[in-house]
Amino acid sequence: MKTRQIALLTLLILKISPFSRAVETNVAQLATANNTFAFRLLTQLTAKSPGTNIFVSPYSAATALQMALNGAAGETKTEMQNALATSDISLQQLNAANQAAAKLIDSHDTNIILTVANALWYRQSARVQPGFLDANQKFFSSTIKPLDFGNVKVAEDTINQWASDQTHGRITGIANGMIDPTYTDLILANAIYFKGAWLDPFNPKKTKDRLFHPAIGAERAVPMMELSQRFYYRKGPNYQAVWLSYLGFGVGMYVFLPDADSSTTLLLDHLNGQYWQQEIVSGFNLNLGSLVLPRFRVENTLELKAPLQALGMETAFKPGKADFSGMFADPHSISAVRQKTFIAVDEKGTEAAAATAIGMVALSAETHPPKPFEMIVDRPFLFVIADAQSGMILFVGVVNTL
């Protein structure tokens, strides 16, 4: 077991990248930006719904918004870049980084399933700028098709079926209620799906009921898994954390347990993309210990308009003020940004999926050996699923109650 874990570290260090140094730099910049956006977005969502379970794919949301960014201009573009933490990355670099990152993330490892897909549907009569469609096809490998938005049922079914197909049936109904038969001219979408088995699975025979102490409400007994071995472990100033690898080594889950006198809110206050990469990820070391972790399952439908506005992306949603002149020949604005998510974690591994849809409407609408540790995750905790090759956070969530 020790040998396999050390092999993981060696693989990550010695892996030879198929990309040029310039592209690697772009991917690293994109990962830092997307990971900063991840923690900002999760902070907004948890503040809006305290005490609830939140699971979001910041990668999916950021990718869909960066697809739309190719059509934005002026103040609209500046605000979107600020919200996405990409102000210091040119659009050309951003597109190239997304293209390269997708190649890294899309898994060819038979031990896991990890796929990403993008799509764009536009009204047949809409005057969509050819350069916008070309950029989405070239850099995001988007499926691009005309669609009759006047027939709402058929249009919704088409988009819903695509999202379901890309997420193995886990995401359904993503487009329901998003389409205005008169004013909706374009829908952008991203879907991501992951299924992986633990490198070191939990023994179901050791799973037993233990008390979980939620952020709000009474404690209750829930099934908790147990594993004792050498982990990549970190003891931070106000938390404990472990890295759990999936088969194939490239993807893993970080579990962060705030100290009893701290909280996930306080933990999120200190997290951003640069600190995550330079301080958090590099601070894990092999340590003997035991982990107790609840089985859990979370499904969310997240309306992201308000959180994005809180992050400073306001003009894009304002009819008559939004500038998507790189996307349309006439005035348009974003009407909605919606994400649906699913995750299930058990003794064998993890299945997770997310789809993000963006609606575009015409003007009239809206050093010393450490002591063995014990980490009992029996209160609210933060978790992150990350791709080691690209450095990208794929999913992030907070479990407050079970």
HSE of 282 in the Cβ direction (CA atoms, 13 Å)? 8
Tokens standing for residue 284: 């894990």
Q: Which of 53-67, 77-91, 111-125, 362-376 has the lowest mean pLDDT?
A: 362-376
Q: What is the pLDDT of residue 367?
A: 54
Over range 231-255, report the average pLDDT. Answer: 92
Over range 32-39, report the average pLDDT. Answer: 96
Over range 307-318, report the average pLDDT. Answer: 97
Q: What is the pLDDT of residue 372?
A: 87
**Confidence check: pLDDT of 368 > 80:** no
pLDDT band at 109 (very low <50, low <70, confident <90, very high): low
Q: What is the pLDDT of residue 13?
A: 29
Tokens standing for residue 302: 């997240």
CA distance 242 to 291: 8
- Single-letter code of the amino acid located at 299: E
What are the pLDDT digits (tens) for 170-190? 999 999 999 999 999 999 999
Residues 268, 400: contact at Cβ < 8 Å?
no
What percent of the chain clears pLDDT 70, i.e. is strictly above it?
92
